[in-house]
Amino acid sequence: MKDQLFRDILSRVAKPARYTGSELNMIKKDWEQAGVKMAFAFPDVYEVGMSHVGGKILYGLVNEKSRHLLERVFAPWPDMEAIMRAEQIPLFSLESFRPVLDFEVLGFSLQYELSITNVLNMLDLAGIPLWSRERNEAHPLVIAGGPVVFNPEPFADFFDIFIIGDGEEVLLEFLDKVETSRGLEKVEKLKRLAAIEGVYAPALYNVEYREDGILKSFEPRFAEVPARVRKRVVKDLDQAYYPDKPLVPYMEITHDRAVLEVMRGCQRGCRFCHAGIVYRPVRERSLETLESQARHQLQNTGYEEISLASLSSLDYSGIDPLLKGLVGNYGEKGIGVSLPSLRVDAFSIDLANEVQKVRKTTLTLAPEAGTQRLRDIINKNVSEEQLLDAVEAAFKSGWLSLKLYFMIGLPGEREEDLEGIIEILQKVKYIGDKYSRRPVEIRASLASFVPKAHTPFQWRPQNTMAELDSKQQFLSRRRRKRIKLSFHDRRTSYLEGVIARGDRRLAPVIYLAWQKGCKFDGWSEYFNFDNWQDAFRESEVEPEFYTGRQRPYEESFPWDFIDIGVSKEFLQEEDQKAEEGLTTADCRQEGCSDCGICLAMEVSLNIKGGNVDALEKQI
């Protein structure tokens, strides 16, 4: 197959380096000697999948720390897919160019709701039946992990297993058990695997719905199967595996740099934020660990840039010494440091100036909402004064363009909040023009709010497409000179919303949409909303049921059985506080807010700079 690819196929496709493998630091294990053979599939194109940090962690973990083997698979771009189908080339792995069908486990990383059509397409290209019930012991075990699977139910019929929580904490244990369960009948195998904490096998549960469509019961079919599935958590990131020799692709990928994961989790408690709840608690890496990881990664990759990744990297308690150390050690060699997300305060701007002494391109800040009232509702604890201070600091020190993130369609939003967005943008522009010699460029990205499972807003209705449309038009009409607004596609937001709080009855819709040709739904050039609408109609599923209702507090949700450690009571209290416009402080500053995570997971906040006053010291 490899010969055929290199000689006849690859010269006919765009960006052939997506399919050639052999990157620097690639690990190709001996197939015969290896234990369980797992294919790690990312349901998007190579350059997106290769940018994902979680995949790099699992790749190194399995290949370096166990006798099992893990090889990579990405979604072929449609030009390559067409040739593969015409020439009957099955989906293959990049390490040994073997068909995916030869592997024992096929694990998908689900980072985005709409990547599910790519999952189905990849299964089909691999020659694997799409429905879990149609696969037997001879097929690979099809599993998934990632943020999306905190509500796995819409995808339950396609997967044999979901892994909930931090993958590096459970994957080796899982693969060991796959090995010792060889030869068992499928349902027995699933039962054995489901005994591992964090492992969910949907076929082992019966689900019933009431006549009005609401969940009636969710129960294990066997006594030994747990009723709730608790997420797995890495307690100490310093002890957790992190790759010192990540793969270095030959072609340019989306995030083409070394990555330091400074911490996991975020406790700012923004009420719309899914990751902020499901990845609690905050766990930091120590400075020593990070410095050593930076050194090894740069030595082994030759990357020209290192980036600090986490949900809110500037909240890392050792951010100041870390950045100074990195700039001091590597700046002279032409190696830059990048900060993907900035906090909205002047301190952040000072730090950004520190690391980007020469390159002052675009600075990004996320006030999220246009008025203080609405920012209080969503618990985005940023005042207009802080924002404008940050903006002033940025323009004073030479930045020429600024990007701001907002959301529209938030709970409790009024016209004044939309006006507020425009007012903020104009103030920002005014400050910019005051300090800069030439007119500054202001860009605002306006996402549509999508209520997600496990967040305080999980009971709230989502704006309809018509509502979002009129809000987008309202804002567009107020467009000002050199302030550019860009909106998310309200149709993708709508679909995301349906799936994010969906249940098992969505499976036929997803299947139909894929049959009609849906794939790469996250890519605007391939997104086809008509096909999705037809799929809903033909399978007689009413999408408004999932997005349009204000759900009562007593309603049972399809994802309630996933135990994320944060209590439903806490989420409800947060939602009620939102209704009253009350905020909740970060528990590192003002003490425990009783979300339940530390008790549930037997963990404590792992803040290297000291728990309570680290933040105040910085500000």
Partner 1 sequence: MKFLGNLDMMHLMERSLRRAAIPYALSEGFNPHIKLSMGTVLPVGLWGENEYFDLELSQRMDIIDFRQKLSVALPSCLQLGECQEINDSAPSLMKIINAASYVFLLEPPFPSLDKWKEELLARPSLTVRSRGKKKGLDKELRTGIYRIEVEQSLNFGRVEIWVAVGEPVNVRYDELGELLLQTGFTQKSIAEVFRSGNYIREGSSYLSPLEVRLDKHTSPCGHSGVPPCGVTIKVGGMRVNK
> In this chain, which of 63, 301, 401, 493 binds partner 1, going by CB under 8 A?
301
**CB closer to partner 1 out of 304 and 433:** 304
138 sits in the region (left: phi over 0; alpha: psi -120 to 50; else beta) called: alpha
Residue type, 484: K
Please give the DSSP secondary-structure letter assigned to residue 108. E
Min. distance of Cβ 302 from partner 1 in angstroms? 3
Contact call for residue 250 and partner 1 (CB under 8 A): yes
* HSE-CB of 411 using CA atoms within 13 angstroms: 28
362 Cβ contact partners less than 8 Å away, ≥ 6 residues apart: 399, 401, 402, 403, 443
The mark string for 48-67 relative to partner 1 (x by CB under 8 A, - otherwise) is --------------------
Q: Which of 34, 251, 598, 612: binder of partner 1 (CB under 8 A)?
A: 251
Please give the Cα distance from 245 to 283 (Å, whole number): 23
For position 422 contacting partner 1 by CB under 8 A, the verdict is no
Range 324-363, binding partner 1 (CB under 8 A) = 333-335, 358-359
Considering the complex, what minimum distance in angstroms separates the CB of residue 9 from partner 1?
Answer: 11
Is residue 97 near partner 1 by the rule CB under 8 A?
no
Q: Determine if 123 is a binding residue for partner 1 (CB under 8 A).
A: no
Instruction: For residue 83, state whether it binds partner 1 (rule: CB under 8 A).
Output: no
d(CA 287, CA 450): 36
* Min dist. Cβ of residue 332 to partner 1 (A): 8
Assigned token pair, 242: 């992190």
3-state SS string for 238-287? CCCCCCCCCCECCCCCCCCCEEEECEECCCCCCCCCHHHHHCCCCEECCH
Q: Does 252 bind partner 1 (CB under 8 A)?
A: yes
The answer to whether 74 touches 49, Cβ cutoff 8 Å, is: yes
DSSP letter assigned to residue 506: G
Least distance in angstroms from the C-beta of 78 to partner 1? 18
Candidates 12-20, 58-66, 261-269, 337-345: pick the segment binding partner 1 (CB under 8 A): 12-20
359 or 481, CB closer to partner 1?
A: 359
- Check residue 16 for interaction with partner 1 (CB under 8 A): yes
Q: In the set 187, 196, 248, 447, which binds partner 1 (CB under 8 A)?
A: 248
Residue 17 within binding range of partner 1, rule CB under 8 A: yes
Residue closer to partner 1, measured from CB, 256 or 320: 256
- Write down the H helix ranges in 211-286: 274-278
To partner 1, the closest distance from the beta carbon of 455 in angstroms equals 40
Tell me how far the alpha carbon of residue 328 is from its chain's centroid: 32
CB of 172 to partner 1, least distance (A): 29
| CB of 438 or CB of 477, closer to partner 1 | 438
Per CB under 8 A, does 300 bind partner 1? yes
Minimal distance, residue 252 CB to partner 1, in Å = 7
The one among 298, 393, 510, 535 contacting partner 1 by CB under 8 A:
298
Least gap, CB of 23 to partner 1 (angstroms): 8
Per the CB < 8 A criterion, the answer to whether 564 and 535 are in contact is no
Contact 503, 493 (CB under 8 A): no
**Measured between alpha carbons, how far is 346 from 20 in angstroms, rounded to an integer?**
46
Residue 434 beta carbon to partner 1: minimum distance, rounded to whole angstroms: 24
Q: How many whole angstroms separate alpha carbon 344 and alpha carbon 385?
A: 10
Nearer to partner 1, 59 or 162 (CB): 59
226 and 194 in contact (C-beta within 8 Å)?
yes
Alpha helices in 100-231 (DSSP H): 116-126, 167-180, 186-194
Q: Is 180 in the site for partner 1 (CB under 8 A)?
A: no
How far apart are alpha carbons 121 and 158 in whole angstroms?
12
- Which of 3, 415, 525, 602 binds partner 1 (CB under 8 A)? It is 3
For tokens 């307690």, what's the residue?
235
> If residue 145 lies in a helix (H) or strand (E), which one and from where to where?
strand 141-145
- Minimal distance in Å, beta carbon 196 to partner 1? 38
Q: Does 437 bind partner 1 (CB under 8 A)?
A: no
Binding range to partner 1, per CB under 8 A, among 2-10, 137-145, 172-180, 440-448: 2-10
Give the contacts of 536 (CB within 8 A, at least 6 positions apart).
509, 542, 543
* Cβ at position 250, least distance to partner 1 in Å: 5
Q: How far is the CB of 41 from partner 1 (least distance, A)?
A: 22
Task: Assess contact for 294 and 314: CB atoms under 8 A.
Answer: no
The strand pairing partners of 165, in sequence order, are 232
Residue from 299, 362, 473, 576 that binds partner 1 (CB under 8 A)? 299
- Greatest CA span in the chain, whole angstroms? 73
Binders in 22-51 for partner 1, by CB under 8 A: 22, 24
Binding segment (CB under 8 A) for partner 1, from list 5-13, 400-408, 457-465, 481-489: 5-13
Which tokens is 533 given? 């609408």
Q: How many residues touch partner 1 (CB under 8 A)?
A: 27
Cα(160)–Cα(181) distance, integer angstroms: 15
Instruction: State in angstroms the smallest separation of the CB of 16 from partner 1.
Output: 4
Which of 300/567 has CB closer to partner 1? 300
Q: Which of 58, 61, 72, 67 is nearest to 22 (CA)?
A: 72
Backbone angles phi, psi at 41, to 5 degrees: -110, 130
C-alpha–C-alpha distance, residues 533 and 511, integer Å: 13
Binding residues (CB under 8 A) for partner 1: these are: 3, 6-7, 10-11, 16-17, 20, 22, 24, 248, 250-252, 256, 298-304, 333-335, 358-359
